[in-house]
C-alpha cells in the first residue's frame, strides 16, 4: 500500500511541475482532433507522441508480468539490472549527438523512447534513465530527453497506479491504514517536485556519467549483500 501511495505522490509531482505544458498539450490535442488536424501543431503532436511512447510499456508489462514479479524478489537480479542502467547512461552520452529538441520529434523517436521505457519494468532499471537514454539515442539534447521522459511517464503511472489501487482496496480495513501513510505521501510529492526541477537544471550543463557511477556503486553494494545473505 505504501508503495502505491508513493507512486501516486510522484505522479502528482509530475503534474504540478509540468502543469502549464500539460494544459497546452491537452488543449492542442483535443483541438487538433476536433478540427481534424490531429498533428497540426507541435503541442498536439507531442500529445500523440506521449500516447505512442506508452504502448511498448503496456504490452511488455502485461506479457512479462509474472517474470518481473519474480525478479523483484532477487537482490542479485536487481544488482545486475542496476549495472544495465549504468551502461545505458554511459551509452547515451557516447552515441547521442544532442542536436535536437522536442519540436523536431517524429513518431519513430517516440516509439524508440517508449521501447527504452519498457525496459524499466525490471527492478534496478531506472525508468527515467532508460527513457532519457532512448531520447538521447535519437539525438535529443539532455533537457529535452528528460522533459519528454517525465511527460511520457504520466499515462504509465496512471495505469499502474489505478491497477495497484484496485488491488489495495482488497486489503481488509485498508482505509484505517491510510492516515499512517499520509506523511510519506506528502514527503514523496514534495521531494519529487524539487527532484524534477533540480534534474532538469542539472542536465542542461552536466552529463549523465555521475548517475552511471552511482548505479554501478549501488549495484556492487547490492551484489555484495546478495552474496553475504546466502
Condensed to tens digits (0 to 9), the pLDDT of residues 135-145 reads 999 999 999 99
Place of cell 554501478: 216
Residue 44 structural domain:
2-228
Q: What are the distances in angstroms from CA 6 to CA 15, 162, 168, 187?
A: 14, 13, 13, 9
**pTM assigned to the model:** 0.86
76, 67 in Cβ contact below 8 A? no
d(C-alpha 128, C-alpha 110), whole Å: 14
Q: Could you tell me the CA-to-CA distances from 168 to 62, 68, 142, 165, 171 in Å, in that order?
A: 19, 19, 37, 5, 6
126: left (phi over 0), alpha (psi -120 to 50) or beta: beta
Q: What is the pLDDT of residues 172-204, one digit of tens each?
A: 777 777 787 888 889 999 999 999 999 999 988
pLDDT over 70 (residue 230):
no
- In this prediction, residue 49 has a pLDDT band, given cuts at 50, 70 and 90, of very high
Specify whether the CB–CB gap between 208 and 142 falls below 8 A.
Answer: yes
Count of the separate structural domains present in the chain: 1
Helix (H, G, I), strand (E, B) or coil at 105: coil
Neighbours of 63 (CB within 10 A): 12
CA end-to-end span of the chain, whole Å? 29
Between CA 204 and CA 75 the distance in angstroms is 34
Q: What are the tens digits of pLDDT across the range 64-116? A: 776 776 767 788 888 999 999 999 999 888 887 888 888 889 999 999 999 99
Contact residues for 76 (Cβ-Cβ < 8 A; gap 6+)? 222, 223, 226
Amino acid at each position: 500500500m505504501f508503495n502505491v501511495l508513493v507512486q501516486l505522490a510522484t505522479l502528482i509531482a509530475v503534474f504540478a511541475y509540468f502543469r502549464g505544458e500539460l494544459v497546452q498539450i491537452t488543449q492542442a490535442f483535443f483541438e487538433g482532433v476536433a478540427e481534424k488536424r490531429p498533428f497540426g501543431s507541435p503541442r498536439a503532436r507531442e500529445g500523440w507522441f506521449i500516447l505512442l511512447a506508452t504502448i511498448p510499456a503496456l504490452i511488455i508489462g502485461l506479457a512479462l508480468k509474472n517474470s518481473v514479479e519474480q525478479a523483484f524478489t532477487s537482490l542479485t537480479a536487481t544488482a545486475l539490472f542496476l549495472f544495465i542502467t549504468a551502461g545505458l547512461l554511459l551509452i547515451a552520452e557516447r552515441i547521442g549527438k544532442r542536436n535536437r529538441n522536442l519540436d523536431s520529434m517524429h513518431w519513430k523517436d517516440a516509439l524508440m523512447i517508449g521501447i527504452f521505457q519498457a525496459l524499466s519494468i525490471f527492478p534496478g532499471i531506472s525508468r527515467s534513465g532508460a527513457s532519457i537514454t532512448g531520447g538521447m539515442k535519437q539525438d535529443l539534447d539532455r533537457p529535452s530527453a528528460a522533459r519528454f521522459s517525465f511527460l511520457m511517464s504520466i499515462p504509465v503511472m496512471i495505469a499502474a497506479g489505478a491497477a495497484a489501487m484496485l488491488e489495495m482496496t482488497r486489503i481488509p480495513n485498508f482505509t484505517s491504514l491510510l492516515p499512517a501513510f499520509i506523511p510519506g505521501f506528502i514527503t514523496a510529492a514534495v521531494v519529487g517536485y524539487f527532484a524534477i526541477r533540480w534534474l532538469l537544471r542539472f542536465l542542461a550543463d552536466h552529463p549523465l556519467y555521475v548517475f552511471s557511477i552511482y548505479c554501478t556503486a549501488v549495484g556492487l553494494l547490492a551484489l555484495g549483500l546478495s552474496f553475504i545473505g546466502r
